[in-house]
Amino acid sequence: MIIILDNALSPTTFSEFKIDNFNGKTKWFSVGEANIYNKLIEIAKEYFNFNNLVGYEVWTHSNTIPIGDNDDGWHKDRDELSYHVRKLFRFPICSIVFYVKVKELKGGELVVEDTVIKPKENRLVIFGPGLIHKVNEFKGERISFNLNPWNRKLDKYS
């Protein structure tokens, strides 16, 4: 399942999102922590079962392309530690991509399996666990927040 929502947040709420690259880090937020990203989680709850949600990871792609499993960029969002140490595939409840800045962009589409999604400010994309995806090469500005909600706390955050 792939959900694409334009104008996902009100203009006021959208303006509260600060473009922050977390200094290249991924942050963990536990359920109950007050922050702006909860707005995106609340929307995703309408489409996926979050009954066992314990928290979520957040990171940004600020004019960057995710590294894939090969050199082609294709990958699946997963618990990287479990995969690399135990060779276990553990997937988040869903994957969330929220575009906060898109300017003079040529390319940069998010490709989820065979669906091509053009970046657009205030566009929210939510897709199911284990779906292979990539970002096409691009020129211009493309900044997104990315969230992976989990039903267990990942070892790397313990």
Q: Tell me the CA distances in angstroms from 148 to 44, 71, 76, 103, 152, one per residue in order.
A: 11, 23, 11, 25, 11
Six-digit token pair at 7? 């104008």
C-alpha span between 129 and 143 (Å, rounded): 22
What pLDDT sits at residue 67? 77
Asked whether the predicted pLDDT for residue 158 surpasses 70, the reply is no
The dihedral sign for the CA sequence 6, 12, 18, 19: positive
Instruction: Tell me the average pLDDT of the chain.
Output: 89
As a whole number, mean pLDDT of residues 29-39 equals 92
Q: For 101-113, write each residue's pLDDT tens digit.
A: 999 999 999 999 9
Asked whether the predicted pLDDT for residue 140 surpasses 90, the reply is yes
Q: Which pTM value belongs to this model? A: 0.92
Q: For 48-102, write each residue's pLDDT tens digit.
A: 999 999 999 999 988 888 877 677 888 888 877 666 566 677 889 999 999 999 9
Specify the range with the lowest mean pLDDT, choosing from 15-19, 91-95, 135-139: 15-19
C-alpha span between 50 and 26 (Å, rounded): 21
As a whole number, mean pLDDT of residues 25-43 equals 92
What pLDDT sits at residue 71? 73
> Containing H/E element for 125?
strand 124-127
C-alpha span between 78 and 75 (Å, rounded): 9
Q: Are 94 and 48 in contact (CB under 8 A)?
A: yes
